[in-house]
Amino acid sequence: MSSAAAIDPEYVAELERQLATARALLAASEEANARLERMLAQARHARFGVSSERGDPDQRNLFTEDCEVAEGQLAAAADAANKALGKASRKRSSAKRNKGNLPDHLKRVEEVIEPDSTLCPCGCGEMVKVGEDRTQRLDVVPAQFRVLVTVRPKYMCRTCDGKSHAQAPAPEFLVPRGLGTNRFAVHSVVAKFCDHLPFYRQAEIWRRDGIEIDRTMLANWAGRIAFQLAPIIDAMIGELKASDRLFADETTVPVLAPRTGKTRKDYLWAVVRDQRGWGGGDPPIVVFQHSRSRSAETAKKIFTGFKGGSLTVDGYAGYDALGDPKKTNQPWGITYCWTHWRRRFVEYSRTTASPICTEMKERIRQLYRIEADIRGKDPDVRRAIRQKLSKPIVDALRPWLEAQLDMLSSSSDLARHIRYGLKRWAGLIRFLDDGRIEMDTNAVENAIRPIPLTRKNALFAGNDDGAVTWARMASLVGTCKLNGINPQAYLEHVLEKILNGHMQEDIQNLLPWNFKPDEARHS
């Protein structure tokens, strides 16, 4: 009897079962390990990498700035050498950036440079001016502090024993008997909420000029400005309530919890109206509102009184209640963001090569090429082109994804990313039937981007009132940016109007898009 024939078949079957079990465990372990590696890579990218897959062009410019610095040093050295040798500097073609673009409203200060003598060397007498060369260069005067002394003369009639007298009324100041002017207070607020320079850093900068202003005073001024401008925020919310095509998103804001010394995670909710993508006539608006919660109830509270329509959001489930007729009296058509869905495949492909991700990104890229061509066109034109060009791409995408899903493990990350979109399919394709709907939430994401920058520099809001001030000032500064308005000039103008008794019924004239910089400069 051979040794092969002596092997017990049951023993062989048991070994095969153990081998199969080991292979299954190994596959599961490899899948778990791959998932952990992807999570680690994504965490590293989230902390140290760029936040957008497109990248920031300013960051790319950092690598060329050093080259430009070196070029400037070489040019200066060549000019110095030529001057020492008595040679004329070789004329170089100058960059045309910014050339001839000095704004007309800037003050012109003429500096006339006369020769040492205008007497003719031949002894003929005084020479006659026959022309001049004029060169315009941009100059800057570093921030200069000054003390504004307000003088109000008093007048009295001596004939009638002082019964008649006259004096101009005192101007209204943001802080009665305060240290700073209204313009100074606005400058501080814009520096923080527009340029992301927290109050304590401003105080350090001014201290170099011997100006001692505590950051708590600056914060107090900001709160006073926010209080005075609250009616404008209310009017902006009223404008939003009359709109039926909006965007919404939310971001975290740390707030110092009372008597704990710790910060809690609150939220600023952003609601945006931006019709520029389809040539709408209403001006763009962004309004932020502070809340301690990110719940669906908070979303319902924020949108109370709105007329409903289409609301473009990311995939956060908190907005779903706004589209449910059983949960709200004015249900919205919830439209989901293609960029958020695409981002999942971009993140996955950073750590794992996947032809599914490559194909998915290419198909979405085709849709965005179409969107780039129709941006700003009439809604009916946009809808017609989408129906003709975009709809076939979208119609073919779903069955393709469902087929890929059948070949993937149900627990895999890639399958989860596919199901994310299929679950929200009705909201993702809503843009095909309405030219006034965008494919993504880029409008609100761009408006909300300054909040993390300010958050990073300012660290936290001191209390709920500070968070409310943050929301109000971010609303005004953000809306100014959307409308191409200088926040400093606008806030100075509108604060002066309100402090001097601008009537509530004229509040519409104080909204950012109605601000006329030329009139303000000459007022």
pLDDT tens profile 138-162: 776 777 778 888 888 888 887 777 6
Per-residue confidence (pLDDT) for residue 212, from 0 to 100? 83
pLDDT digit string, tens, across residues 102-136: 778 788 888 888 888 888 888 888 888 888 888 88
Burial class, 465, CB count within 10 angstroms (exposed 0-12 / middle 13-18 / buried 19+): middle
Is 185 inside any structural domain? yes
Per-residue confidence (pLDDT) for residue 96, from 0 to 100? 47
Residue 478 banded pLDDT, cuts 50, 70, 90? very high
Per-residue confidence (pLDDT) for residue 60, from 0 to 100? 47
Q: What is the mean pLDDT of residues 272-286?
A: 93
Q: Which of helix, strand or coil describes residue 311?
A: strand
Confirm if 314 and 249 have CB atoms less than 8 A apart: yes
**At residue 115, what are phi and psi to the nearest 5 degrees?**
-65, 160
pLDDT at 28 over 60: yes
pLDDT at 35 over 90: no
The proportion of the chain whose per-residue pLDDT surpasses 70, expressed as a percent, equals 80
pLDDT digit string, tens, across residues 504-513: 668 888 999 9
Alpha carbon distance 482, 287 (integer Å): 12
Alpha carbon distance 491, 476 (integer Å): 8
Compare 368 and 498 and report the one with higher pLDDT: 368
* Total Cβ atoms within 10 A of residue 513: 17
Per-residue confidence (pLDDT) for residue 432, from 0 to 100? 95
Instruction: Enumerate residues 6+ apart whose C-beta is below 8 A from 472.
Output: 226, 229, 230, 233, 288
CB crowding 90-116: b at 16 or more within 10 Å, else e: eeeeeeeeeeeeeeeeeeeeeeeeeee
Is 190 inside any structural domain? yes
Alpha carbon distance 298, 180 (integer Å): 38
- Number of folded domains that form the chain: 1
pLDDT at 503 over 60: no
Per-residue confidence (pLDDT) for residue 74, from 0 to 100? 63
Per-residue confidence (pLDDT) for residue 77, from 0 to 100? 64
Per-residue confidence (pLDDT) for residue 44, from 0 to 100? 61
pLDDT at 65 over 60: no
Distances (CA, A) of 60 to 55, 57, 63, 65, 171: 8, 5, 6, 9, 49
Task: Count the helix, strand and coil residues of the chain and give each as a percent rounded to the nearest 5.
Answer: 55, 10, 40
Is 416 inside any structural domain? no
Residue 61 banded pLDDT, cuts 50, 70, 90? very low
Instruction: Enumerate residues 6+ apart whose C-beta is below 8 A from 272.
Output: 246, 247, 248, 284, 285, 286, 443, 444, 447
Top-ranked range on mean pLDDT: pick from 36-40, 231-235, 498-502: 231-235
pLDDT at 375 over 90: yes
Is 225 inside any structural domain? yes
Per-residue confidence (pLDDT) for residue 111, from 0 to 100? 85
Top-ranked range on mean pLDDT: pick from 64-78, 325-339, 474-488: 474-488
pLDDT at 523 over 70: no
Is 276 inside any structural domain? yes
Is 497 inside any structural domain? yes
Is 187 inside any structural domain? yes
Is 246 inside any structural domain? yes
Q: What is the pTM of this model?
A: 0.74
Pairing of strands 309-313, 245-256: parallel
The mean-pLDDT minimum among 94-108, 251-265, 427-441 falls in: 94-108
Domain coverage including residue 463: 178-337+441-523
